[in-house]
Amino acid sequence: MSAAIETQNLTRRFGAVAALDGVSLSIAKGEFFSLLGPSGCGKTTLLRIIAGLETPDGGTLQLNGNDALGVPAHRRPVNTVFQSYALFPHMTVAENVAFGLKMKKVPRTEIPKRVQRVMELVDIAGLSGRRPSQISGGQKQRVALARALVNEPEILLLDEPLGALDLKLRKQLQIELRQLQRRVGITFVYVTHDQEEAMAMSDRIAVMNHGRIEQIGPPDQVYDRPGTRFTAEFLGSCNILEATVQSRQGETLLVKTPFGEASVNWAGGAGGDSVLLTVRPENFLLREGATAGGGVCGKVVSIVYNGSQTHYEIQVSELTFKAVLVNAHGVGKFQVGDEVAVSVPSAALRMLQT
């Protein structure tokens, strides 16, 4: 699939701070692509460069195969939706949606048809005569989307557009936004620091840290097979384990972990090497009794009930780790102070770059 956006070695510095440090990526046409990372990682700077609102210090940017760095923002095939929505308070909803078309001098007879069509698409047709002060936060978000989509951009950039909404509404609009993207078929580039939000909506995710891309891939790949410690710890909860390589056979390492020996696939490493592994809390197996069904002996030191799940902290020797059990079969399987047998399947262990 051809690329809607392609960057090579983009850099942007603010004094001594490198907001972007050699960012290279390719985003396919029609893809829902998320830039995920903590505040200050460079994701918004990258979005602003794509939009034409920021100029990089080096590197290249192509939009639909054409060099874009010399093209002013209003001539690029993109529109941007911001967290603040930036609606005009003195205009009605319909007037806000039509504003960009009027600036582009679209024929006056065509504007009402395009406005009506896009308002129906985002389910705000009944709000056309209201002003922004008379509608809810979720409705304002839909108006901002309609105002961007009515211009028929080839690429839509979204800078944390759901960040100001409450949790329930945010989850509802995540589903609607993903369905909308599939219907219109254009490229969405979505900036967020919310891991669950990125995984719920994206075809692929770029995890960013200190101006660099740590890892790019589909949500399940980035979550299940993190390549770096930062990705493992930022994208959900995880446990970092120190292990020692016992032997190698081809690309399979036999490693000694706090939970016994395990086999992991890794191209590097040799006998005696110290390595880091990660395992997600939901992948631990906990059984009643210190030695029941194998595993090592652990002790429950804390419990947090979280509705559908119960979160445990388990101590094994000097190590304390996090484990999660689904509450489908009742709550209170273990209590603080209980001894449990702890094991982890080899397939759940992932080697990390150090």
- Which CATH number is 120's domain given? 3.40.50.300
- Per-residue model confidence (pLDDT) at position 42: 95
Q: What CATH code is carried by the domain that includes residue 290? A: 2.40.50.140
Same domain, 249 and 153: no
Q: In which domain, by residue range, is 339 found? A: 239-351
- Per-residue model confidence (pLDDT) at position 8: 97
Among 190, 185, 177, residue whose Cα is nearest residue 123: 177
- Per-residue model confidence (pLDDT) at position 213: 97
Residues facing 134 on adjacent strands: none
Written as six digits, the tokens of 279 are: 């395992």
Same domain, 7 and 146: yes
Same domain, 17 and 66: yes
Same domain, 209 and 272: no
* Burial environment of residue 276 by CB neighbours within 10 A (0 to 12, 13 to 18, 19 or more): middle
Same domain, 256 and 133: no
Same domain, 210 and 252: no
Could you say which of 181, 203, 233 is where a domain stops? Answer: 233
Residues facing 156 on adjacent strands: 79, 188
Could you say which of 212, 233, 254 is where a domain stops? Answer: 233
Centroid of chain to Cα 124: 27
Torsion of CA 177, 180, 184, 188, to 10 degrees: 10
- Per-residue model confidence (pLDDT) at position 14: 94
Q: How far is the C-alpha of 187 from the C-alpha of 197, rounded, in Å?
A: 17
Same domain, 133 and 276: no
Query: pLDDT tens, position by position, for the chain (354 residues)?
Result: 689 999 999 999 999 999 999 999 999 999 999 999 999 999 999 999 999 999 999 999 999 999 999 999 989 999 998 877 788 999 999 999 999 899 888 999 999 999 999 999 888 889 999 999 999 888 888 898 899 999 889 999 999 888 777 888 888 888 888 988 998 899 999 999 999 999 999 999 999 999 999 999 999 999 999 989 999 999 988 999 988 888 888 878 888 888 888 888 876 777 778 889 999 999 998 888 766 566 788 999 999 988 888 999 999 988 999 999 988 765 568 899 999 989 888 888 888 876
Written as six digits, the tokens of 103 are: 């600036």
Q: How far is the C-alpha of 34 from the C-alpha of 257, rounded, in Å?
A: 34
Same domain, 132 and 32: yes
Same domain, 110 and 78: yes
Could you say which of 198, 233, 268 is where a domain stops? Answer: 233
- Per-residue model confidence (pLDDT) at position 354: 60
- Per-residue model confidence (pLDDT) at position 290: 65
Same domain, 244 and 223: no
Same domain, 220 and 263: no
- Per-residue model confidence (pLDDT) at position 274: 87
Q: How far is the C-alpha of 234 from the C-alpha of 217, rounded, in Å?
A: 15
Same domain, 40 and 100: yes
- Tell me how many domains the chain contains: 2
CB 201 within 8 A of CB 177: yes
Q: How many CA within 13 A on the CB side of residue 313?
A: 7
CB 311 within 8 A of CB 303: yes
